[in-house]
Structure 1
Amino acid sequence: MKYSYEFKRNPLGYLRIILPQEINLFSDFIEDIVFETEVDEYIDIVHKVMGGDYDEFEIEGNATSVLIKKDTTAKREILKLVKEVDEDSVLHALQCLNQDFYDPGQKKRNLKLFALENGHLTKTSSYQKVLQNEEYRTYIEDLIIYGIFRYEKEFKEGYYGVPHLKLYEQYQMGDAALLSNYRKSHSAFRGSGLLSNGNDYFLFIDLHKEEDIKESINYHDEFINERIFQWQTPNSTAPNSDRGKNIVFNQDRGIHLHLFIRKYKEIDGKTEPYIYIGKGNTVEYEGEKPITVTMELENEVPASLYTEFTKRV
């Protein structure tokens, strides 16, 4: 539906639009509209809101002014930064903010900032009190801006699917839970070299084992070349077990084997991150408890990274 409109300067000299009488609510001036290119879209929104058939907006007003308030969704805001995002990842992110996957210790140590109820995320009263402190508020805003900046720099607008993993980026074990929409305690993603979430298996591999490591877990994991990797399963895994079959027949069973590699567990007392080298598919296997698995990588490891992983120092 088309409406006529005109622009007029308000008492302060600012150019504003005057809505036609049919959709005029309380105020003559709609303050946010200053360009003609925005008019048709905005008037259409007003018409739909007044007709009650535009659920994404609500009217807030008093006797002298009116505001057309948009009900912002998380997905809409995320899509301002990336080209695509799936609904389940958005929900999982909101559940994380709600501390749904914190263990009791984490809940005790961390102030709850948000509450999720019926799909709506709101700030808790405790967080609102924190934000009243200008110093804290500025610090939090800086963290958010920096986080967005880093994401844009490292990931740009690309969509990496679920799990949200980018080749050759650095990760910790717990990241796999967060980025694969794991819906149990995320602190469970630690300690073991093989973790899973549905059909996604995450292999965390140290190429060089510690000198005092027990022989029973001194697995022989190594690159054969830039495209072939040999990995040994945990020593409790048999090829006729369900987990064993998922590993040795991963393609037939729809299992994705994600490989995270680091050369050393620690350097100078500091824990090293893993580097994600993509998915691998089993082409050969032998033995049991552990199973020695030969995998073909879906992505050839770049020469510089391969050299870094394999050179002796």
Structure 2
Amino acid sequence: MLKEAFIELKNRLGRIPYLVDFIRNHSIDPTVIIGKLNTYYAFLHKMKENVPVLNDYEQRVLTMFSRELLDGKRKHELILVKSLLNTTEITKQAYIHELDDNDCLIDTKIFNSIERVMDLSFFSQTDKKKYGDNPIITISSDEQYTFNPTVRNSLMRNEYFQYLVNDLVEAGLERSRKYKPDSLLTINEKYTRKDACKLLNWDNDESSTMYGYKPKHQTCPIFVTYHKDDVESSVDYGDAFISPDVFKWYTRSNRTLKSKEVQKIIQAEAKGIDIHLFIKKDDDEGSDFYYIGEVVPNQQTVEEDTMRDKKNKEIPVVHMNMILEKPVEHDLYRYITSSNE
């Protein structure tokens, strides 16, 4: 499918298409290509195109930009990279003006998150290694952002590397139009657990240990698979919409009303913790969940109960009704709740 889309677009344009071309010509979403091969450079090699050579580190930087920025879910980093493609360094104040001009949400937590993404400290060791280990963009003591010397030299020395980075940034900015720049997350759009860690401004990617939910940094993302497979459903969770604006939610098993994490969620409003609900219809959706919006627990519905585990043993669990800030849109509500049978 990717090969056919590539050939069709190449014939239409009369040249090798690049990431932004797929978007502007309403072809396939370029993130699909990146999901398969990490970079468009690798894809062009797969298509046996004769293109200039990138060294190993340039490919690693391109992998980071492709996997972490191309989706456009937060345009802040894209704006920073674009600014640094046009100038050697940019002051934090000038960057703030750029973000302001693009109607982007700005606060200290977001800046901290952007800097941790661009110096790679947000990522797991595995990802860091994949992305070249070294900070890609750093901020100096006098608050100047700049590419690290190796990246800067590559951009000056290798025009093709610069072209690919620029193409990726333009494609990312095109994709970012579907997301609200003045919100951390956009209702009805899809996100992974890793996206939630990043976009809720967590210090690190904790997606590997998030499981169904995790209260941290005054936020608590909740991830629900609505129609569970046989393994999951063997533990009797009853997560379900009661109506488009009320969702009945169960904690992890072996939790009681006294559990610390449960208390944090019950007292979320009083403690200033923002709870964000993400739902996918079933596991066929992969690792992406629809963002349903912010929710608050209805105190009157909080109840400790029991459920049966895989060995049919009764174990404690807490459930409560979550009130949605905004009702789920009709079409998405019908899609998620409808049976697969």
Same fold per superposition (TM over 0.5): yes
Residue of structure 1 aligned with 2:296, choices 246, 261, 281: 281
**Secondary structure of 1:197's aligned partner:** coil
Q: How many residues align?
A: 235
| Distance 1:83-1:100 versus aligned 2 partners, 3 A rule | closer
Which of residues 204, 223, 248 in structure 2 aligns to 1:204?
223
| 1:115 Cα deviation from its structure 2 partner | 2.8
CA contact (8 A) 1:114 1:121 kept: yes
In the other structure, the counterpart of 1:94 is 115
Q: Indicate conservation of the 8 Å contact 2:179/2:185, yes or no.
A: no
Aligned counterpart for 2:282 among listed residues 257, 264, 272: 264
- Higher Cα Rg: structure 1 or 2? 1
Q: Which of 148, 158, 170 lines up with 2:190 in the alignment?
A: 170
1:155: which partner in 2? 179
Tell whether the 8 Å contact from 2:193 to 2:207 is kept in structure 1 after alignment.
no
Superposition map of 1:122-133 within 5 A: 122-131=146-155, 132-133=157-158
Q: SS of the counterpart of 1:276?
A: strand
Structure with the bigger percentage of helix: 2
- TM-score, normalised via structure 2 length: 0.63
Q: Percent identity over the alignment?
A: 22
Aligned to 2:325: 298
Deviation of 1:264 (Å): 0.7
Higher strand share: 1
Letter of the 1:92 counterpart: S
- TM-score, scaled to structure 1: 0.68
Please say which of residues 271-280 and 242-251 is displaced more in the overlay: 242-251
Distance 2:140 2:215 in 1: 29
**Alpha-carbon distance in structure 2 between the residues aligned to 1:81 and 1:171:** 22
Alpha-carbon distance between aligned partners in 1 of 2:267 and 2:255, rounded to the nearest angstrom: 14
1:78 is matched with 99
Distance in 1 between the 2:246 and 2:173 partners? Answer: 36
What SS does the corresponding residue of 1:291 show, helix, strand or coil?
strand
Note if contact 2:90-2:144 (Cα within 8 Å) is conserved in structure 1. Answer: no
Q: Structure 1: 5+ residue runs without aligned partners?
A: 1-68
C-alpha distance in 2 between matches for 1:187 and 1:249: 23
Moved more, 185-194 or 228-237: 185-194
Structure with larger RCO (C-alpha < 8 A, sep 6+): 2
1:116 corresponds, among 139, 162, 170, to 139
Task: Flag the 1:174–1:83 CA change in 2: closer, same or farther, 3 A.
Answer: closer
Q: Which runs of 5+ in 2 are unaligned?
A: 1-88, 306-315
Alpha-carbon distance in 2 for matches of 1:272, 1:88: 26
8 Å CA contact 2:215, 2:261 repeated in 1: no
Amino acid at match of 2:175: R
In structure 2, distance between residues paired with 1:70 and 1:139 = 21
2: CA distance, partners of 1:302 / 1:210:
25
Matched residues in 1 for 2:292 and 2:238: separation?
18
RMSD over equivalenced CA pairs, Å: 2.3
Q: Which residue of the other structure, out of 259, 265, 268, is the alignment partner of 1:247?
A: 265
Distance 1:264 1:128, change over 3 A: same
